[in-house]
């Protein structure tokens, strides 16, 4: 290690030590799950280390780190949105795979999805909130339990009942249209 690398390492260590607490607080303030705050803060420091040559020494290093962290959280939100879309499709697949019909024609699937939407709209408000929280927002049973003042086990039981209600509702509607 040459003298320049040694000086850089010390300055980077100092930057981490001086900004770690504030960066963690900022990441937490963005709504990141407490279990992931340290990982995201560490990833922000790794990006800062990789991109150190693009940083203008005249600028506020805390602001630069917060910008990196903000972009990392945005990326996580985008990834989560993609994942939620897949979970929602997974619900539709689960509800529809037991359907009596073997018709995989796209129009028939569109009709089933329309029925699914209508059936979800017809649920009681609390059931609709549970389904929306789970499949649109990607909340876990624990998240929903905290939000709805229920136990996680009660949320899981409710989800099982709601999925069965949705399946029955879709089958009834398909029977009416056949």
Q: Mention every residue, 6+ apart, whose C-beta is less than 8 A from residue 31.
A: 73
Residue 94 has pLDDT above 90, yes or no: no
Q: What are the pLDDT digits (tens) for 96-105?
A: 454 445 455 6
How confident is the model over 2-27, as a mean pLDDT?
82
The 8 Å CB, 24+ separation contacts for 14-23 are 15/48, 15/61, 16/45, 19/61, 19/62, 19/65, 20/45, 22/62, 23/62, 23/65, 23/66, 23/69
Q: What is the pTM of this model?
A: 0.47
With residue 50 as reference, give the H or E element that holds it. Answer: helix 34-50
**∠ CA 96-76-60 to the nearest 5 degrees?**
165
Residue 173 has pLDDT above 70, yes or no: yes
Bigger pLDDT: 20 vs 110: 20
Domains, the chain, ranges and CATH? 3-84 (1.10.1740.10), 106-176 (1.10.10.10)
Residue 35 has pLDDT above 50, yes or no: yes
- As given in the structure block, the two tokens for residue 19 are 């900004």
pLDDT at 43: 94
pLDDT at 178: 55
């Amino acid at each position: 290690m040459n003298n320049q690398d040694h000086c850089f390492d010390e300055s980077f260590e100092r930057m981490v030590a001086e900004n770690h607490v504030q960066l963690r607080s900022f990441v937490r303030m963005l709504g990141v799950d407490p279990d992931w705050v340290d990982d995201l803060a560490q990833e922000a420091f790794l990006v800062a280390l990789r991109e150190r040559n693009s940083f203008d020494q005249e600028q506020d290093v805390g602001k630069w780190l917060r910008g990196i962290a903000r972009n990392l959280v945005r990326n996580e939100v985008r990834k989560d949105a993609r994942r939620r879309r897949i979970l929602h499709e997974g619900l539709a697949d689960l509800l529809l795979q037991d359907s009596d019909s073997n018709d995989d024609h796209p129009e028939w699937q569109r009709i089933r999805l329309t029925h699914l939407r209508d059936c979800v709209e017809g649920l009681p408000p609390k059931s609709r909130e549970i389904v929306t929280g789970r499949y649109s927002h990607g909340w876990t049973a624990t998240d929903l339990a905290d939000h709805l003042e229920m136990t996680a086990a009660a949320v899981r039981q409710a989800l099982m009942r709601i999925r069965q209600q949705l399946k029955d509702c879709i089958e009834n509607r398909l029977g009416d249209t056949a």
